[in-house]
Amino acid sequence: MLKRIKLIQGIGSFCQARGSSFELAKVNVVYGENRNGKSTLCDVLHSLESNNPELILNRKAIPDDATRPPKVEFQFETSTGNQVARFENGAWQVAEPDCSKLYVFDHSFIHRNVITGQKQERQNSESVTSFILGEANTVLYKQLAELNESVRSERSNLTSIERQLQQSGIANAQEYANSLLPTESKQDLEALAASQKQREQQIATTIQNADGIRVRRVLTSIARQIDYNQTVEKINATLAANLQNVHQGALATLETHISHHVNNPASFKGWAAQGLGFVKDESCPFCGQGLGENEKGLIATYQQAFNTEFDDFNNRVKQTLDQLRQPFLIQDTRENIGQLHQANKDTISLYFEPEISANPALPSLITSLDQQFQGILSAYDALKSNIQVATDFWLPILNQKYNMPYEAMQIIDFSGLLGTVGAYNQVIYSYWQVCEEINRLLNQFKASIDSQQLRNDMAQMVQSYNLTMGLIKRIDLEPLCHQYREKQQQVSRTQTTYNQRKEQLEQSQSAYLESYFDSVNRLFTELGSNDFEITKEANNRGKMVVYELRVKFKGQPIPVDKVNFVFSESDRRALALCIFLAKIMSLSTDEKSKAILVFDDPVTSFDNERITLILNKLDELQREVKQLIVTTHYKGMASKAVKKFRRIVKSVRLTNTANGTDISVVDNDSMTASDHDVAFDRIKAFVERATNNNIITELRPFFEEEIRSRYKKQLAEFGVSKEDLSVCINTLNDNGILSDTLAARLNSLRDSLNTPMHEIGQDAVENTRSIANQILLVVYNELTA
């Protein structure tokens, strides 16, 4: 038998729970409140029973702790010693020993063994009216339902496929479906179709724009060439100019005077020539003193040297120099050059027709054009720089010549500037050569336009495009064609399989009911459902055979859609439990001796009578099987189970701690009924008229304790655990824990319990019994829903 729960790690709320400090007994009662790991423990046991790792992996702890991966160790007792069943690395590495066999009854049992109505459902407890019973049969039923649906679907699809092909313009679906597929891929065909459509549109545009194409502009030069040779010659000629016909005697006298009396001979002549204009009488124009004969003679000599011809020459030279103050101008600006180049690029883009846009020579020409443009800009910048250098060098010399226009000066070497001009002119020419190449292509295209030929080309392109689209359409419709070709064979094959499975299900279900129905029916009656009678009937629904369990209540047949209203939660659970018990009871003696039965909350209602009956049945079974494990979240059930099996029972408690769920053994006495359970028994006896002692004063504490206990964690989290009951109910309602309907009902009961005794009425006992019954129904049916 299962001796110890050595380890449950990384699964659900079990972080690292160990129960190796105690041994399990013949009968074990495991008590744990909701969300404390009770269902997780049963899933782990079911995983071991069925060798289904997914049941554990689907409950992997959240958040995942890589240091504590899912791991389980169960120690079993065998005749040769202990054996540990171990789950790790995502699988059961060691299974249960051959001498032990687990059988688990939990909430999933009904879903694995019972199908309600026409489909397998999770919410089986909502309507137990017609059933397919047995785990193998539910699988067959599901397969059969899928096959039946497949047959109908495939037949419908065959008609639908023909209709879809017709809607796609296919007159003969069969002929079209059997036609050959294109050898080209759809991607290649789509690319070809896109190219053909584009070419068709291009030809149409060319035809429409033929006249406009012929008058489209072509590329132009973007800069003018420069010639500074004449300017340089003029500058140097002006620098070399001097006055040769000045009177030689006067000039000699002037030179002698300058050499003896003038400190700055370079500017003296100009100064002296200007000063003669101020002489008006025999006084000095500068100091006002009288002039002697010597002075008058010197002035006469000056006047002979700086005559009218001298003035005229000076004026002409100065006028020329004024014209040469900005000798090196460029009419083109850098911005204008860029704009003209962009205009050329825009001109090229006007020719979107493939004869130009797809011409293999065009990309390299455009690249060359851009390169030459960059060359022009570089040469332009170099020229501007050299112009500035030459101008800065020239202007001081110009001013010097301006002051002494009659003196010859050394000429200037402008070869550096002229070299830069040559480079600039060359790149402008190279740019124009590329323009000429491109213009040759553009002009050839213009000359080639033939409207009639273009129309013929477009008609041929339209035909080719339609053919290509037809091939694409064939590829697109291939799934439909394939379905059309295969559907008849599929229908035939599926129908044959369906007929075989239907016969198999009928035989299997009949065998199952023959083996188990009587036991199920007897157990169902024994476990407190005497008012109900169930019978088995075969019902053919078209191609589907469903064996139904018809229901009568107190001898009256219950319509299928009404069973849910008379079949209580306890009755539904009891029926599922009866199916499980019938299976166990049908085991051989040897199989029973190996059986370890696990019951997860076999009773979920407050029905004390049913609890007692089920415990009695479990007591019968424990005498034949190896071990019983009963889990429950209901303290009353745990208490009654411990009392029932006191001599052979082990009490185990699951407690949610800060470190996850803890597994511990507890004293059997702690599992017996508490004051609250005693109060429940008194209230239940009062409701069932076993006693007439008015228990009105016990209802409010019982009612309040149930609510506070059920939602202890939530109330603590919301910070209202110490508040009045009305605050607790409303807080649970505001946070979505209680529905509006349930909260309203709880508040109504609370108000009823707050009403003073003298306001309840003359029939106080019956009013109390009604309120007590409502409290039990709400607490044990609706709060546990």
Separation between Cα atoms, residue 602 and residue 615, nearest integer Å: 10
pLDDT at 115: 54
Q: Please report which residue ranges of 587-673 form alpha helices under DSSP H.
A: 589-594, 608-622, 635-644, 668-671
**Is residue 429 pLDDT above 70, yes or no?**
yes
Nearest to 692 by CA among 749, 757, 768, 773: 768
pLDDT at 287: 62
Separation between Cα atoms, residue 132 and residue 127, nearest integer Å: 13
**Is residue 105 pLDDT above 80, yes or no?**
yes
502 versus 239: the higher-pLDDT residue is 239
**Is residue 125 pLDDT above 60, yes or no?**
no
Separation between Cα atoms, residue 380 and residue 86, nearest integer Å: 87
DSSP string, 671-712: HS--HHHHHHHHHHHHHTTS-----HHHHHHHHHHHHHHHTH
Q: What is the mean pLDDT of residues 343-370?
A: 93
**Is residue 759 pLDDT above 70, yes or no?**
no
Residues 6+ apart with CB under 8 A from 433: none
Q: Are 430 and 372 in contact (CB under 8 A)?
A: yes
Minimum mean pLDDT among 10-19, 24-33, 392-401, 631-640: which range? 631-640
DSSP string, 160-174: HHHHHHHHTT-S-HH
pLDDT tier for residue 551 given thresholds of 50, 70 and 90: confident
pLDDT at 305: 53
pLDDT at 120: 38
Q: What is the mean pLDDT of residues 345-361?
A: 91
**Is residue 610 pLDDT above 50, yes or no?**
yes
Separation between Cα atoms, residue 72 and residue 59, nearest integer Å: 13
Separation between Cα atoms, residue 609 and residue 168, nearest integer Å: 70
pLDDT at 166: 87
Rounded to 5°, angle at Cα 662 from 657 and 664: 130
Q: What is the mean pLDDT of residues 275-301?
A: 60
**Is residue 725 pLDDT above 60, yes or no?**
yes
pLDDT tier for residue 54 given thresholds of 50, 70 and 90: very high
Minimum mean pLDDT among 34-43, 55-64, 113-122, 552-561: which range? 113-122
Q: Are 45 and 108 in contact (CB under 8 A)?
A: no
pLDDT at 143: 77
For the chain, first and last CA: distance in Å? 34
Minimum mean pLDDT among 150-164, 278-292, 631-645, 670-684: which range? 278-292
**Is residue 131 pLDDT above 60, yes or no?**
no
pLDDT at 757: 45
**Is residue 386 pLDDT above 90, yes or no?**
yes
Separation between Cα atoms, residue 463 and residue 593, nearest integer Å: 84
682 versus 248: the higher-pLDDT residue is 682
Could you tell me the fold of the domain covering 2-100+587-671?
Rossmann fold (3.40.50)
Minimum mean pLDDT among 261-265, 442-446, 455-459, 713-717: which range? 261-265
Q: Are 747 and 729 in contact (CB under 8 A)?
A: yes
DSSP string, 491-536: HHHHHHHHHHHHHHHHHHHHHHHHHHHHHHHHHHHHTT-TTEEEEE
Q: What is the mean pLDDT of the chain?
A: 83
pLDDT at 760: 47
96 versus 454: the higher-pLDDT residue is 96
pLDDT tier for residue 161 given thresholds of 50, 70 and 90: confident
pLDDT at 119: 37
What is each CA distance from 107 to 113, 126, 604, 626, in whole angstroms? Answer: 11, 13, 11, 23
pLDDT at 130: 42
Phi, psi of 218, deg, nearest 5: -120, 180
Q: Please report which residue ranges of 51-172 form alpha helices under DSSP H.
A: 54-57, 109-113, 135-167
Separation between Cα atoms, residue 159 and residue 344, nearest integer Å: 63
pLDDT at 289: 63
Q: What is the mean pLDDT of residues 182-189?
A: 91
pLDDT tier for residue 245 given thresholds of 50, 70 and 90: very low
Q: Are 671 and 27 in contact (CB under 8 A)?
A: no
**Is residue 762 pLDDT above 50, yes or no?**
no
Q: What is the mean pLDDT of residues 122-145?
A: 57
pLDDT tier for residue 122 given thresholds of 50, 70 and 90: very low
Q: Are 643 and 650 in contact (CB under 8 A)?
A: no
Beta strands in 33-105 (DSSP E): 71-78, 81-88, 91-94, 101-105
pLDDT at 726: 92
CA quadruple 758, 763, 767, 772: dihedral sign: positive
pLDDT at 424: 96
Torsion-angle region of 341 (φ positive above 0: left; ψ -120 to 50: alpha; else: beta): alpha
Per-residue HEC secondary structure of 360-413 comes to CCHHHHHHHHHHHHHHHHHHHHHHHHHHHHHHHHHHHHHHHHHHCCCCCCCCCC
The model carries a pTM of 0.47
pLDDT at 340: 96
**Is residue 407 pLDDT above 80, yes or no?**
yes
Residue 627 burial by CB count (10 A; 0-12/13-18/19+): exposed, middle or buried?
buried
Q: What is the mean pLDDT of residues 27-47?
A: 91
pLDDT at 273: 58
128 versus 776: the higher-pLDDT residue is 776
Separation between Cα atoms, residue 572 and residue 126, nearest integer Å: 8
